[in-house]
Amino acid sequence: MVPRAPFDVTAALDIVAPVCQDVATHGVAALRRLSEKFDHVVPEHLRVPAEALQHALDELDPLVRQAYEIAIERRRVVAQQELGPQQVDVEVATGAVISQKMIPVNRVGLYVPGGRAPLASSVIHNVVPAQVAGVRQIAVTSPPQADFGGLPHPNILAVCALLGVEEVYAVGGSQAVAMFAYGVPDLCRPVDMICGPGNIYVAAAKRYVQGKVGIDSEAGPTEIAIVADDSAIPSHVAADMVSQAEHDPMAGAVLITDSEELAARVDAVIATQAVEARHSERIHEALKGEQSGIVLVRDMEQGLAVADAYAAEHLEIHTRDAEALAQRVTNAGAIFIGTWSPVSLGDYLAGSTHVLPTGGGAKHSSGLNVKSFLRAVHLIRYQRGATDAVAKDVITFAESEDLPSHGNALRVRVEDPEGSRS
């Protein structure tokens, strides 16, 4: 019933493919040319100097720094609990042990948007779980800003300095994704994984290089769904819908309710809040788009079904039995329970991840977390007796698949355990 905003990554591939190939072929020269074309500034340094990072931290407003430090601390505490055991050993039979070892990705590149909003929060929510996972090399890139002498926004640089990230680039758009994927001689080594949100061209570039490198996801327009009954506070619900609409004209804000009175009151409050907001034009465009609206359901059972079908990036629950209803949700990027748990908390310093699946991706994918940066590798240790015990079964299995040489790998061990014959 509620469509998403148009976001055709496939169509954007035709635009980003030449950009990516240009960077792969011409390196620094291409980055400078593309920076001038798309960002209207050519950075003096494509890699941000260490002194610029430190200067940004030194000049950071103390109150802003305090907020950043709380966000970092809480996200790190949660991430450390997400980490879990790094190796699990399972003895499937006597002398037969399978271990699972979690190995971090070696090198990660993080893209941080610098357009409508300098998302310093994205640095925290990507870097902290990567650090906790044990990623050895983390590089950050963000578009150069003409207002800041060709450097990324100083808040982004300050957070990098707070987190100890020293490899930071002033490169934006699909060319930044290409830089990470292919590497640029004398500037940036290729990474193994690219994460971080961006516009449709960044998403398309991530799709284009996927396979050569890993990616976290193709982030689309942000969205919120709110399940609410007549106990909900209209001004709270309205504020949360408006706050999500503030992100982008394509942002989605959806209220799912069984109360006609609440729907009418929220609609009226939204009108007032949107007019008074600093980014009212952007908010109005998002709320008037086909991706936003109010869905009236007959009861909360149907409301839950609608929420699961929509699979929102952010799902808020404002009902009398919010906790119980939240436990029954099957499709959501993150679930915010009760009126005192707004999405804005999660965006910044709740301690949860704010990098979440969009466009219905919550039906099959999780938000970015420590395990996103870990690879599960099995270690297989069978002693002779354990292998002998199942050799006939392996041979039978292999024959059933018409792969007799697979079976022979067991047969030679049974018949010639000491390797006496050639």
Annotated binding site: 111, 175, 199, 222, 244, 247, 314, 347, 401, 406
Strand 107-111 relative to strand 137-141, pairing: parallel
**Cβ 40 vs Cβ 146: under 8 Å:** yes
> How far is 130 from 79, CA to CA, in rounded Å?
9
What are 296's two structure tokens?
């009236």
Q: Measured on CA atoms in the order 25, 28, 29, 31, is the torsion positive or negative?
A: positive
> How far is 33 from 65, CA to CA, in rounded Å?
35
Please confirm, yes or no, whether 246 is among the known catalytic residues: no
Strand 314-318 relative to strand 334-337, pairing: parallel
Residue 14: burial class (beta carbons within 10 Å; 0-12, 13-18, 19+): exposed
What are 141's two structure tokens?
């890139």
> How far is 420 from 417, CA to CA, in rounded Å?
8
Q: Measured on CA atoms in the order 183, 187, 191, 193, is the torsion positive or negative?
A: negative
Query: Dihedral, CA atoms, 144, 147, 149, 150, nearest 10 degrees?
Result: 10
Q: Which residues are annotated as a binding site for NAD(+)?
A: 111, 175, 199
Selecting among 246, 313, 316, 354, the annotated active-site residue is: 313
Selecting among 314, 316, 318, 354, the annotated active-site residue is: 314
- Residue 418's CB is within 10 A of a number of other CB atoms, namely 5
Query: Dihedral, CA atoms, 378, 379, 381, 382, nearest 10 degrees?
Result: 30
- Residue 62's CB is within 10 A of a number of other CB atoms, namely 7
Closest among 414, 389, 413, 394 to 404, alpha carbons compared? 394
Q: Which residues are annotated as a binding site for Zn(2+)?
A: 244, 247, 347, 406
Is residue 239 helix, strand or coil? helix
Residue 146: which residues within 8 A CB-CB, separation 6 or more? 39, 40, 41
Please confirm, yes or no, whether 314 is among the known catalytic residues: yes
SS3 content of the chain, % helix, strand, coil (to 5): 50, 20, 35
> How far is 232 from 60, CA to CA, in rounded Å?
38
Residue with tokens 């199942």: 390
For residue 223, what are the β-bridge partners?
252
Active site (catalytic) residues:
313-314
